[in-house]
Structure 1
Amino acid sequence: MYFIYLFSCCLLPTWVRFAPTAGYSLGSCVAHGSLNYTNRLKVLCYSEQLRLVPSNIPPNVTVLDISDNLISRIQLENFRNLTNLRVLNVSHNLISRVAEGAFKHLVNLQELNMARNKLSVLSENIFEGLGNLTVLQLGDNNIKSVESTAFRFLLSIRFVNLTTNELQHLNKVRPILKFPHLQQLHVGNNSLFTFQTEDLSDFPLALKVLDLSWNPLTKLNVTTDILPKLESLDLSYSGTNGSVEWYIRDGFLLRDVKKLSLNGTNISEEVLFSVLQCLNSSLEVLTMSNLKHLKVKAFLKLTCQMLPVLRVFNLQGNSLGSLGDGLKPCSLLRDLDLSRNKLVQLADFVFKNMSQLHALNLSYNQLNAVPVAVRIITSLETLDLSYNSISELKSSDFAKMTMLKELYLVNNLIRDINGSAFQDLINLRSLRLGKNHIWMITYPMFLSLRKLVVLDLKSNQLSSLKNGTFQNLNSLKLLNLVDNQVSEIEEGAFQGLLNLTTLLLGSNKITGDILRTATLFDNFISYESTAKLKSPPFSLLKSLKTLSLNSQGHEGLLNLPSNFLEGLDSLIELHAGRLNINFLHPQTFNYTPKLSFLDISRNAIGNLTPQLFQPIPNLTEFILTQGRLQTLDFLIHANLTQVKILRAKGNELTVITESLIRSLPSVKYMDLRENSFSCDCDNSWFLKWALHDTYAQVIYMNTYLCKYPPNLRGMKLIDFKMDSCSVDLEFICFISSTTLVALTLLASFFYRFLRWQVVYAYYLFLAFLYDNRKKRRRPVQQYQYDAFVSYNTHDELWVLRELLPNLEQVQGWRLCLHHRDFEAGKPIIDNIVDSIYNSRKTICLISRHYLESEWCSREIQVASFRLFDEQKDVLFLVFLEDIPACQLSPYHRMRKLVKKRTYLKWPGHREETRMFWHKLNIALQTRGEADEENPLLSGLDTQD
């Protein structure tokens, strides 16, 4: 018993600890990562119209983004439990107040973004606890006042952004400048009128980047050596009407400045030269865009002469019509930006000395041809001539530019292209020719571009693709032909594209009849059935990785042939939305074993089979939005064990089963919005899984609404009360174990004290059933024997020597003996029952051996039941020896309780045997009526 109790106690915790496959939901937030890994969990709650900081954020989150909401204040308890948080973004809200100490528990926070709010004051203890903070974003607020001790907790700060506030004096941020790790300070677009180093600090600072742009500065004085490590200084759009008073006592004070931005600065030539002269030994990057009040062309030459180490020169937006020889001294330039000017033509020698120039940007000008000056820059790697008026490409335009890797000719007037124009571009990786007027590409157009990886021809006027057009582009991975007028594709047009991974041919005029080797969206492809095609369109594109078929014109694709994707052995991504298909053949994906992304959204598909997806076990993202699916149970046997993202928004789903969830062991994100959920116990397991566990996430769970039953329509699924559905495992286990123990105790008790009574009751019941069956089968009783003799084999000698001779031979009675009259092969219990009921009387020969016999006990039990049932004197006992009453079991005393008179005892003396046999003969002669009494037996041999 102790063992059973111990076993039940050990088993109970196992039942109670049962938990389903992991899953969790954060309402309006989306989590990236698992709750099981403290250094990876990211929670995104942006753009959800939240008015309060969510309270259900997991405590081990490391990145929290609640930006772009309607939060107006941060409470003391909002981040109390988020001690692992490293990045917090609360930008673009309405926060005007932060409770003091609200961040004190964020001891591991490294980045805090509070930009674009309505803060006006930085209070004394606002940053308490942020000793590990390195980045602080406070731009686009209304900060006017900063308490002197507000920054005292920021011991590790490296980056501070106070851009676009209402600060009027830099002494407001002076306390933060003393921290030894501060490297970047951005205070642009405030109301600062002066910048004087003597007012900021008495000792050198660690600042490397200082942004003072967009301030109405009137005075800028650098008189003390507090910026020895400054590398970047931004003064763009500062000052008003050229009234800035500049004073740099010694160029040595800015000795490490490598980057200077003076975009849009209203500065005189004299002051500009003075500033540049102070920086002449270190300045490498100079940005001077949009200098509308300065004659840029006039000081170009002098600038390059003054800055011998200049490497990057940005001159965009200065209305330059020509350059003359102003850039001639800039021989060490690596990057030159002349975009957004008014250049019509360039002198042939303008870039003559720039032997180290790698990038040249001439976009957004008025050039009508590729400048001859460009050809001589043999070191050029990137050339941008986009948004000009170039109408023709000549064979000599890019001659000898063998180092060129990127060429941009977007949005010009080019109609014809000659393959010879690119013949020297043997190292070209990217060629952008989009938004021109190209109407034909002839072979051999790209003969020398064997290293080309990206070819962009979108938004042109191409009407046909000829055989061999792209034959030599063996390295090409992306080909963009979107938004042309392609209506004909010759067989072999894409021959040779052995490494092509992305082919875009959307928004053309391609139909199913001409489709051979194209991937298309927004075209006019359609098929009448799913029957196999004789010539599958993609059979040659073995390396294609991305295929887009979305949004076909007219009535849509209608049907997808079963071998439509044949040949796409390397396909990874398939977009097949808005095709107006309602069926997918089970063999559709047999040809795409590497498929990992599948989008079949916005189709009228109502039923899918598991066999359809079994050939694509590597699928990781599956999109099924806005269809007509009523169940996702087809996924149970689809073998999609790698799916991490499942989107089934806007279907007709009512129930999500446990089997479905368990068939997707890798799923991390599920989007099931806008479905017809049933608020009943069928969804209770899904609801528990979605709300409480820790691996997968049902995103936007708080927006799921009930549609069934009608009385709960419109209620949120998360508000459904699951109390009536839940099974209290602890209670059930308690009841089960208690019942088991009780039954074990009872069984032990009955076995020890009431074993024979139970056995007696069992056989009594069997006899009852047998008797009823006999009565139905044989209404009129016909007896085969006068008496059935029940005895033990140890008493068999007495039966043969005494009983048989006297009753059968002398008296002529017909007796039934088990060793003689039982039917061979018949079950013993059936022989006993049949013999008793086929005899008028039953004689039980009682001895000590008889009482110990199991079969003898069964015989007397059956006879006793007959006695009770027929209410006749059909049973009498013969005691062959004296047996004390204490040794008689209860069922052996049954005859005494019913009729105490009818029993005989074998006499001990020989002379008394004649009376014994006479009494036994008289007993056999009686008919056994219920009220009958035998006077010869009455009062004799009774035993109370």
Structure 2
Amino acid sequence: MVANKEMCNMAKRIILVTNIFFQYFVLTITFCTHIQPSVENGLTTNYSHRFLASIPKNVPAQTTVLDLSYNSISEIWISDFRSLSKMQTLNLSHNLIRELDFNIFQCNETLEHLDLSHNHLQTASCHPITSLKHLDLSYNNFSDIPLCSEFGTMLNLKYLGLSVKKIQKSNFRFLAHLQLNTLVLDLEGLSEYGSGILVFNTKNLHIIMPSNSDFHVLSDLEINATESLDLSNIHEKHIIDLCTFLPNGNKNASLLNLTLHNIQCDWKGLMYILQTVWESTIEHLVISNGGQMDVPETFKFNHTDTSLRSLTIKQTTFTTIYSEPTPMYRLFANMNITALTISDAGLIYMLCPSQYSHFKYLDFSNNSLTDALFESCNNLTLLQSLILQRNKFKNLMGVSLMTSPMKALKYLDMSKNLLQYKDNRNKCHWGENLLKLNLSSNMLSESVFRCLPLNIQILDLHSNNILTIPKDIMELRALEEINLASNKLADLPGCLQFRSLRLLNIEMNSLTSPSSEFYHSCQSLKELKAGHNPFKCSCEIRQFINLQRKGLLKLVDWPGSYLCWYPEVLRGIRLEDFHVSDIICNTTQLITVIVIVVVAAVALVFFLCFYFHIPWYLKMIWQWTQVKRRNWKSHPEDHLNTLQFHAFVSYSEHDSEWVKNVLIPNLEKEDGSIRICQHERNFVAGKSIVENIIDCIEKSYKSIFVLSPNFVQSEWCHYELYFAHHQLFSEDGYGLILILLELIPTYVIPARYHKLKALMAKRTYLEWPKDKSKQGLFWANLRAAIQIKLPKNEEIN
């Protein structure tokens, strides 16, 4: 189990090589094992409460603090800690270790804190660890003192805890050279005691007294350098020894602090201790866990001058069921000391001192005191701190009146009571120098802001029923810190009434987003604790987030405690990760962008309309629909689409000679088998040109267009082509016949005649041949295209 120095040197060299690689793979290795440690900053490794039977093999090499407490480890070996060359603190308390060889830690040269308390240790080797500052071996099963003379060389040791069952006079001689700050001696299981002078050179001495009260350890105790003595498990016989020990000025000249834990005595024994301490050089006395004591009707106590400055009695219940409690209250109230603490004692009342008191600090927490405490009490003028938490106070007005005569009072703790304030008619009267006030965990509403000390600097109102902060309250000019956590506030309050506010705690409320007043009035605020609120992630929250991003305000617990709650789709997202466009949140910018987009869209539409002559087409459609509507109303029978002509001819006036002398004579024969509609002879007088065009096109089987450069320059020809094409699509037929009289260059056709370009590109047209030999075929094809049997009409225009 013990390794030599060569093994240690080899181990150190291996560690230097593997450390770098181990840092990268330690997490992977950890997850692959059954027990997974929690590593903080890569230095502290916690394996406590893991039901471990042995030291884990995967402890990170960089560990400086290793916690293995509260497990079932029974054995430890040098190999368990060989790789932990940087370990400074090792906690092995509350395990099942039986043997300890200090050679195990010879490779841990930086080890300073070693806790092996609450194990089953029976033996320990004599190999000192010179680097140790804290060594705790208390609450074990050692028969003799587990250390030998070699441990006198551990000059760095400041804390030492020992557990022993046998004491001889020479057992502690090796401690004479150590400059200890704290020595803990567990003598509870002491079974053998060789009486003699016990000399300890330590500032703080804690002794767990032996269960066998026949061992008079205190009688042999000599503590010339000890300032604080802590005694636990005090029996009645120990009280006699203690009261004999304390007045001996030669043995305890430097003793100033005395603490007594788990004291078993009655009221008489307590008075014996108090009177002895009162007359000794002790300055601070603490008595805790004294059980229940029945206070008698009468008793004696000499309030002479004393060195005692503070008295603390806690977890010791005083019962006065069969006696008058006034003498007990008078005993404590008239003590001319500066600090008095009586907590968890069942007190229901406390008298006002009968004369001007020296009290500067009073703590009556965890009792049953009511609003009757210190009524009209004018003798606490030196009191600076008053702790009354966990009592049964109900009236905040009464509390303020209680403190009014306390001119020196600076701190008042009224937390965890039943306080309310409903009387808005009368003003509260607080001590004029009250700077710090704790009213947390009461039943206060927003009316509490009308009953606060004007000079208050630190105010705690967390865990109440505050819904809002009224705007008509008196300004608290000196207030620097206010705690409003765990209330019902729905808005982040402004600071108009708190001009000097530096720290605001409003976590765990119903805050969704800060008010605009907050940004304008809280310029002096330095820290804000607003986590764990149901934030609404919208445009309003962006300014709040920017406070942290720009360093204008420190948000405590940012960003982990600041999460989106509304809307539901964003619930759980951290405010730090919430982003929204500036344009969406800026109304002016948004309207400007919309206007620009609309104007650009309108301009684009107008441009496209004029570029493609859409107004012209709309005008034509309007005229066509108007004609159709009038025709429908005046002559419904015209909608039978009875044809009167084989073809309607559209042409330019410049081409009229060819149409009249060539086209029409070759199509119309004397037998009248083909009838041609020509505007000069078939337009009806009195009708508009548009009406005549539409009427002629509808009465004709086909529409013939004589195309030439002159045609594309004629506005009316374009009208006729448009209406004819529209009629074509309305009848689902091919009623257009194009005759190319002369070649038309593409560039000659105006841009608005895109319909003509499309027709010429997609439809077959007849080209007028200059060669007479080819004209016969031309006429034949044209007649075939328009040849149809028309119904007979009595009158043809």
TM tier, shorter chain?
0.5 to 0.7
The number of residues matched between the two structures is 573
Aligned runs of 1:210-609 on 2, under 5 Å? 210-213=160-163, 215-216=164-165, 222=171, 228-229=177-178, 231=180, 234-237=184-187, 239=189, 242-243=191-192, 256=201, 263-265=208-210, 276=220, 290=233, 297=240, 308-311=250-253, 335=258, 340-342=264-266, 344=268, 356-359=281-284, 364=290, 368=296, 374-383=302-311, 413-414=325-326, 422=334, 425=336, 428-430=338-340, 448-449=356-357, 452-454=360-362, 456=364, 459=367, 464=372, 468-470=376-378, 473=381, 476-478=384-386, 480=388, 483-484=391-392, 489=398, 494-498=403-407, 500-503=409-412, 521-523=417-419, 525-526=421-422, 533-537=424-428, 543-548=434-439, 550-552=441-443, 560-561=446-447, 564-565=450-451, 568-575=454-461, 577-579=463-465, 585-587=470-472, 591=476, 594=479, 596-599=481-484, 601=486, 603=488, 608-609=490-491
Q: Aligned equivalents of 1:465 and 1:291: distance in 2?
A: 33
Distance 1:726 1:776, change over 3 A: closer
Q: Does 1:668 align with 2:559?
A: no
Aligned runs of 1:460-859 on 2, under 5 Å? 464=372, 468-470=376-378, 473=381, 476-478=384-386, 480=388, 483-484=391-392, 489=398, 494-498=403-407, 500-503=409-412, 521-523=417-419, 525-526=421-422, 533-537=424-428, 543-548=434-439, 550-552=441-443, 560-561=446-447, 564-565=450-451, 568-575=454-461, 577-579=463-465, 585-587=470-472, 591=476, 594=479, 596-599=481-484, 601=486, 603=488, 608-609=490-491, 612=494, 615-616=497-498, 618=501, 620-623=503-506, 625=508, 629=510, 632-635=512-515, 638-639=518-519, 642-648=526-532, 659=542, 661-665=544-548, 666-669=554-557, 680=569, 682=570, 686=574, 689=577, 768-769=610-611, 772-773=614-615
Q: CA RMSD of the aligned region, Å?
A: 6.2
Pairwise CA distance, 1:225: 5.5
Write the deviation string for residues 621-665 of structure 1: whole angstroms up to 9, x where unpaired.
43453x6x4x6123576236644422436x696889861651552
**Secondary structure in 2 matching 1:546:** strand
Q: Aligned equivalents of 1:564 and 1:157: distance in 2?
A: 58
The one-letter code of the counterpart of 1:548 is: L
Q: Aligned equivalents of 1:673 and 1:526: distance in 2?
A: 35
8 Å CA contact 2:195, 2:220 repeated in 1: no
Pairwise CA distance, 1:362: 7.4
8 Å CA contact 2:87, 2:108 repeated in 1: yes
**Secondary structure in 2 matching 1:73:** coil
* Cross-structure match for 1:826: none
8 Å CA contact 1:139, 1:162 repeated in 2: yes
TM-score normalised by the chain length of structure 2? 0.54
Higher CA-based Rg: 2
Identity of aligned residues (%): 11
Distance 1:349 1:656, change over 3 A: closer
Tell me which protein shows more helix as a share of its residues.
Answer: 2
Distance 1:462 1:414, change over 3 A: farther
The one-letter code of the counterpart of 2:306 is: T
8 Å CA contact 1:417, 1:438 repeated in 2: no
Write the deviation string for residues 718-776 of structure 1: whole angstroms up to 9, x where unpaired.
xxxxxxx999xxxxxxxxxxxxxxxxxxxxxxxxxxxxxxxxxx9x9689449554676
More contact order relative to length (CA 8 Å, sep ≥ 6): 1
Q: Aligned equivalents of 1:415 and 1:869: distance in 2?
A: 125
Q: Aligned equivalents of 1:374 and 1:357: distance in 2?
A: 16
Distance 1:243 1:376, change over 3 A: same
Q: Does 1:151 align with 2:151?
A: no
Distance 1:334 1:221, change over 3 A: closer
The one-letter code of the counterpart of 1:414 is: T
Distance 1:780 1:234, change over 3 A: closer
Distance 1:684 1:184, change over 3 A: closer
- 78, 92, 107: which one aligns with 1:124: 78
Distance 1:433 1:661, change over 3 A: closer
Q: Aligned equivalents of 2:147 and 2:285: distance in 1?
A: 37
Distance 1:54 1:575, change over 3 A: farther
TM-score normalised by the chain length of structure 1? 0.47
**Secondary structure in 2 matching 1:638:** helix
Pairwise CA distance, 1:187: 1.6
* Cross-structure match for 1:842: none
Stretch deviating more after TM superposition (344-353 or 89-98): 344-353
Write the deviation string for residues 342-367 of structure 1: whole angstroms up to 9, x where unpaired.
46277899859956343456785777
Unaligned runs of at least 5 residues, structure 1: 1-52, 57-65, 314-332, 392-410, 508-520, 528-532, 691-724, 728-761, 782-863, 873-894, 901-930, 934-944
Q: Aligned equivalents of 1:55 and 1:122: distance in 2?
A: 24
The one-letter code of the counterpart of 2:178 is: K
8 Å CA contact 1:217, 1:238 repeated in 2: no
Pairwise CA distance, 1:258: 7.0
8 Å CA contact 1:195, 1:220 repeated in 2: no
- 142, 145, 155: which one aligns with 1:192: 142
Q: Aligned equivalents of 2:616 and 2:389: distance in 1?
A: 94
8 Å CA contact 2:72, 2:96 repeated in 1: yes
